[in-house]
Structure 1
Amino acid sequence: MIELQEGIIPEIIVKKPYALVAITKHGVAHARRYAALFPYVDVYYMEKFSYGDENLRGIQLFTGSVRMLLPALFKQYKGMILIISLGAVVRMIAPLLIDKKVDPAVLVVDDKGEHVISVVSGHIGGANALTKEVAEAIGAKPIITTASDVQKTIPVDLFGARFGWVWDAEDKLTPVSAAVVNEEPVAIVQETGERNWWMHDTPMPDNLHIYNAIEDAIAAKPNASLLITDRILAENEQVLLANGVVYRPKSLVIGMGCNRGTPFEEVEQVILQTLEELQLSVKSVKALATIDLKKDEEALLQVTAKYDWEFVTYTPEQLNEMPLPNPSETVFKYTGAYGVSEPAAMRYANRTELILPKKKSGNTTISVARLLFEEESYE
């Protein structure tokens, strides 16, 4: 809990590059939804609108006037997304402004979530690019009032953010961004994830080259690389990381069944160990799916809350509609479904192939599937 006091800059916990702040009941509901849609935000909102799960979700609550919180956020974040009226924001940040070369990006989202407005540091601070990405993610209209827009290329630090993609590490963001902006040869390899990421109405610049395989990108010897994959790269592939950024699309779904009362620690360990064995990134998990009999299973609720995964349940009838590779009469006897982890994963992923068929481990069964994404042109 952050207790705001006049004249005292509060201590905050910074984990992500942007701060998302809400001060109204509707704004808080929006903030919780936006955090699930846009991955690069630390969330702050007033304690009186608490849902009770903030510690688990890493949300920071505060009491007192938000005006006393903004100076700390202004100094420590790359940008602030404020679900606060524009006039109030202008008055509160005015004493904090120094220069467009050093001020963070500031965005305002209206209380209905219909508009995202670029307020401060549009070009150099990246507010214009951030405005577009946030608006696309939450389904709002971007409002940008500068006379000319930013260069029509890929914003490396926000690439895919509107789809929920996250980068693995930030140490190469700056040099890779420089390569993109300076029109140096940049390799793009996409193995999974949404394909409609090019957001401009013009073709991609000639310095950006798309390769179908990592081997082809390595052979091209680019100055920088953008790798979109849910795999942990093999040792021979990591040469591209000398000046490259790995993006993790939300491409994986975990199907899971468990005995009633299975401890959270066991569920979490099984998931993490399974992904490690498959050489898949936990950052690419989008959802955990199971049977509706488990909709109140505490361990499943806890693990999905901790990792910000969707928690989806299906009826036995819905699960039985899927072609099961390993149907079980025993499971049917107790649940009415011939399987849980396999059909749940397949149904959510919208495909019948599994990366991992049912694996039994202690009190759990687990399956993994990769989501089916539509193929779209980059031109």
Structure 2
Amino acid sequence: MEQKIAVLTLTKGSYELGKKIKHHLNDTSVDLYGLEKNIENESESYKEQQFKLGFKELFETYDALICIMATGIVVRHLAPLIQDKRYDPAVVVMDEKGQFAISLLSGHIGGGNELTEKLAQVMNAQAVITTATDVQNVTAIDVMAKKINGWYDDFKKTTKHINYLLATHKKVGLYDEDNRVTDLRGLEKITQLTSEVTNSFEAVIVVSTKQFDKLPSNCYQVVPKEFILGMGAKRDTPLSTISEEFKVFSQMHQIHERSIKQIVSIDLKKNEKGIIEFSQELEVPFDTYTKEELEPSSLKYPQSEFVKSIVGIGNVAVSSADYATGGNVLTERYGHNGVTFALGKE
């Protein structure tokens, strides 16, 4: 997915540089903004023609901001807006002559460091990156997770701990049975998770979609979100029931509950409170399809006349998983307590 980038300017000189940046970053979605007296198009004006209001609006709507101005100005406007490194946009600062590109905010998760390097390359500028892992030329667990669409528990504490170990060149292992991780700087790959092996490391990163019964205390699992969960539920089924049934389903198929990247169902369920809350609990999108879209998929699988009388097709969970994955359904339909699941993978 393309990053939505806003280039913010204050002077005529910075606006002209912004035009060049927009031209050079031609493979991304870039919008240019400036003060009314400097801009060439009305759409480039800040909200109500006020930089402070415009900055806030752009911070909340774009994936990344390139600010061509003094770093102090940016810091003062950022201060009341910063919330969480997982969700804040990347912020890169550049001087008006285009000599330096500074990664200021969300260097890892937000892609600020990557954007800084790219900006420096296309504008022949000096990239200024100060995150410890980058300075020490090692990987970072949050960057790793972003690249493989991974989830891990206790994000802030774990990120701080693992990245400190990496940045200080402590011994960190990587268990990655499917070889998803490509940046191995600072890591030592292992093929076993026995205590004898893991005890020789300060920490071990375990990359897997599996639900392990118990991992050694110095192991930290990064779970790639790669499965699509087709589901159905009787009207007003509570979140507690859905969550409990999903635990059983996950254990049956030995998958970590956080390995789901999307929940899908029929559009008649788009306002079903329990499913919506379940998707929020897993922090994944919930998408629905019409009966007409799902019908060809539904005919491949066992039919329920009762379900057909309610929604118009003979199954929901498995047909949704089938449609969303182009036919790559991995499990049979699971049904209990008014909840149905089927797992698929694109």
**TM-score, with length taken from structure 1:** 0.54
3-state DSSP of counterpart to 1:28: helix
Structure 2, gaps ≥5 residues long: 1-53, 95-101, 121-126
Question: What's 1:153 paired with?
Answer: 138
Structure of greater Rg: 2
Q: Equivalent residue for 1:285?
A: 260
Q: Does 1:187 align with 2:169?
A: no
Measure, in 2, the Cα distance between the counterparts of 1:168 and 1:364: 27
* Contact 1:137 1:162 (C-alpha < 8 Å) held by counterparts: no
C-alpha separation in 2, matches of 1:286 and 1:252: 6
Report which structure shows greater RCO (CA 8 Å, sep ≥6): 1
Structure 1 residue 250: Cα displacement = 1.5
Shift of 1:361: 1.8
What amino acid does structure 2 have at the position aligned with 1:312?
D
Please name the residue that 1:122 is paired with: none
Structure-to-structure mapping, 1:1-150, within 5 angstroms? 24-25=56-57, 27-30=59-62, 90-91=72-73, 93=75, 116-117=91-92, 130-135=106-111, 145-146=127-128, 150=135
Q: 1:256 to 1:163 in 2, by over 3 A?
A: same
Distance 1:141 1:172, change over 3 A: closer
Tell whether the 8 Å contact from 1:255 to 1:367 is kept in structure 2 after alignment: yes
Alignment match, 1:309: 284
Moved more, 283-292 or 268-277: 268-277
Deviation, structure 1 residue 175: 5.7
Point out the more displaced range, 274-283 or 292-301.
274-283
Give the deviation of 1:279 after TM superposition: 4.9
**C-alpha distance in 2 between matches for 1:137 and 1:360:** 46
Counterpart amino acid of 2:313?
A
The share of aligned pairs that are identical, in percent, is 17
CA distance in structure 1 between the partners assigned to 2:151 and 2:200 by the alignment: 22
Aligned to 1:230: 209
Distance 2:289 2:326 in 1: 13
Q: Is the 8 A contact 2:210 2:254 kept in 1?
A: yes
Kept after mapping to 2: 8 A contact 1:295/1:313:
yes
**Normalising by structure 2, what TM-score?**
0.58
Aligned pair count?
A: 271
Asked whether the 8 Å contact 1:128–1:150 carries over to 2, the reply is no
CA contact (8 A) 2:152 2:221 kept: yes
